[in-house]
Amino acid sequence: MSETEQNQEVEEIATEEAASDVEVEVSEELTTEQELEAKLEEAEAKAADNLDQLMRTRAEMENIRRRSEKDVSSARKFALEKFAQELLPVIDSMEMGVAAAQDENADVAKLREGTEMTLKMFETAIEKFGIKGVHPHGEAFNPEHHQAMTMIDSPEHEPNTVIDVMQKGYLLNERLVRPAMVVVSSTNSGKDDKE
């Protein structure tokens, strides 16, 4: 074979290889493009799914918010329902006492007894809800729960002792609602006069 023929053959082989390389590159480009399109479709599907989940979550959160508002409104509206149910027997008892007092032959002792029972019912009802009376007669003066209306010298009592209670105070779950109005012994009380 002549050198020219060999060169031609080498050129033909090189041309065929080059053409083969181009076909491979075009084929690879097509494959890469197809892969990219597939990935794009997958990403679009995932984005659509995420958007759908977001919309559902927003709707659920809105429903929860509405339900919570309704529950809070209902709780505020009916918070005193149990308290009211406890007070109704007290009202009934008071009404019976008023009716009994209007009778011409009303017995004062029985009316007093009925009133005392009604008061006991009322105190029991409010204690169920954490309301407790403050009646500090004979206790040391406590400015957090008592309001001193006056001070009196009293040799029988220690200084700063509650001598008398003008009006009971009340606590609601250990929080002061109304201080007890009291008379307190002065700092001169309980001291012996040596004159």
Q: For 74-79, what is the mean pLDDT?
A: 84
Predicted confidence at residue 42, as pLDDT, reads 92
Predicted confidence at residue 29, as pLDDT, reads 64
> Where exactly are the structural domains of the chain?
1-78, 80-129, 130-195
Predicted confidence at residue 194, as pLDDT, reads 41
Predicted confidence at residue 37, as pLDDT, reads 87
Q: For 61-81, what is the mean pLDDT?
A: 91
Closest CA to 171 of 135, 140, 120: 135
Residue range 130-195, CATH number = 2.30.22.10
Predicted confidence at residue 188, as pLDDT, reads 74
User: How many CB atoms are located within 10 Å of the residue 173 CB?
Assistant: 9
Exposure b/e, 73-99, CB count within 10 A at least 16 = b: eeeeeeeeeeeeebbeebeebbeebee
Predicted confidence at residue 154, as pLDDT, reads 85
Closest CA to 161 of 179, 178, 181, 137: 137
Tens digit of pLDDT for each residue in 80-133?
888 889 999 999 999 999 998 888 888 889 899 999 999 999 999 999 999 999
Predicted confidence at residue 180, as pLDDT, reads 95
161: which residues sit within 8 A by CB, 6+ positions away?
Answer: 138, 139, 140, 141, 154, 184, 185, 189
131: which residues sit within 8 A by CB, 6+ positions away?
Answer: 170, 171, 172, 177
Tens digit of pLDDT for each residue in 42-66?
999 999 999 999 999 999 999 999 9
